A = this chain, B = another copy of it.
Amino acid sequence: MKPTSLTDAIRTFHEHQTSLKPLKYANHLISFDGQTIAPKHPDSVQERANAQTYFAMELFRRHTDPQYDALISFLESHVSELDQSLQRMVYLERRSLNELKKIDPKDYAAYSELLTKAQVIWEQAKEKDDFSLFAPYLEKIIGYVRKFASLNKTVEGPLYNTLLDQYEEGMTIEKLDGFFATLKARIVPLLKAIQQSKKIIRKDFMKRSFPIHEQWAFAKEVLHLIGYDLQRGALAASVHPFTSEISPSDVRVTTHVYENQFISNLYSTAHEGGHGIYEQFIGPKVKGTLLGGGAAMSIHESQSRFYENVLGRSYAFSKVLFPLLKKRFKPQLNDVSLQEYYEAINEVKTSFIRTEADELTYSLHIMVRYELEKALIAGTLSVADLPKRWNELYDTYLGIKPKTYALGCLQDVHWSGGAFGYFPSYALGNAISLQWVQAMNKDLDVNRVMASSNLLPLRDWFEKHIYAHGKLYPPFELLKRVTKESLNPEPYCQYLETKFKKIYRLK
């Protein structure tokens, strides 16, 4: 791999990326399959874990190959001669290389195998509502996460900063504490006012029986409507909905369907559709390269939360969606008006499950996890004490205490996958999605487009301003380029206040 010239080095760099594609393809597919159709029998899981560990290790080995490291160093020494894309790729590769190369390959293999199994155990623990099944796995995962982050602290201060930095370049506890303080100061009084209001929201129809296969067909209709390309993707079922890029032209989304909670499938689908659209419409300049993905988790969530909420639960879009719903589910919705539907999907009600939470209380769920993660990573909270502390924080932030683990600390998939530091991205995404809307409104009448049967101008705008660049810019630089602003929770808070005061007829 030793380069003889810069041209040679650049060619070798690109060849190296191309050579990894089949391994990444296999890795992504095995993971997607594991969460959708693959059998859960321990023997099947073990065989899958073996295969997945092999690919994770092979990618690890290729990535941390000293020759590749030398190649990156060579390119770094010529950084001023590289174009902007290559500069960014080299920067990102150096970052991840520094992170990986300090990890003992044995630890990496053990961790990869642990995650494959933890995924299944978490599902079982949740199903059986038995935290003790999952606890030893979580303990081990946290051990590895702390160990790996300690080996390569990229940010000063607490270890958790390094985890945040992995998802959101440059994000710190200090900045997030301020961000969440603003959200809390604006959301909590609004929530109290709503709880004291006399507004009655009709919701009897929300628990009616909607046939699974019809819901399934409708989910595809929604994906099509918002501009997700089913020809270059697929919709599958999984316990926890997710989006997976198998290859640049194969970006799949999943959902879950419950007969008596049609809303759950509907807005999960819109959420994952948002992620899917982002990955599907990555700009041609960066597609298929190292920059061919979302800029950061917050920017990704700004898309999923936009399609789920800002669009999905808007009155404007409900005017389009509800007649379609009514057409397909006539007996279930015949006696329901648009206004009743709109109010029902926006009912504010403190509840246990984050993914089913209303828009207003959602960020409070995130704050609970943020507090817990900080403490788990700092070592001031043990896994054994997690369920108790979870319940205490739910009481503090939302005034409710879950009675089961499934409704409590076993509800989310993230920790079973080692994703510590990810949760804040949801709240950041909420705030950022409204910063986009503010910018978008300068180019088009967002509300009018949302109420029309052609939503593609929204996707086109995102494509031009966000998707086109992939990972070319760090997230908060991208935000600034597009909106001329830094991270700012104000538009989001105003949006929540306007929307919910109107629904609940508050002053």
Contacts and interface: CB of A to CB of B under 8 A. Distances in A.
A247 B33 CA distance: 13
Interface stretch (A18-26, A219-227, A443-451): A18-26
Contacts of A38: 234, 246, 250
Interface string A228-249: 0011111010000000001111
A198 interface: no
Contacts of A48: 25, 247, 250
A51 interface: yes
Interface residues of A, number: 37
Contact of A250 (B36, B44, B236, B248): B44
A42 to B, nearest CB: 9
Contacts of A36: 37
A83 interface: no
Copies of this protein in the complex: 2
Nearest to A236: B37
A104 interface: no
A106 interface: no
A47 B234 contact: no
B29 A47 contact: no
Contact of A21 (B21, B43, B51, B212): B51
Contacts of A213: 211-213
A43 B232 contact: yes
Contact of A40 (B21, B30, B231): B231
Contacts of A160: none
A43 to B, nearest CB: 4
Q: Which 10 A-B pairs have the closest CB atoms?
A: A22-B54, A43-B249, A47-B247, A25-B51, A26-B26, A213-B213, A44-B250, A44-B249, A22-B51, A41-B231
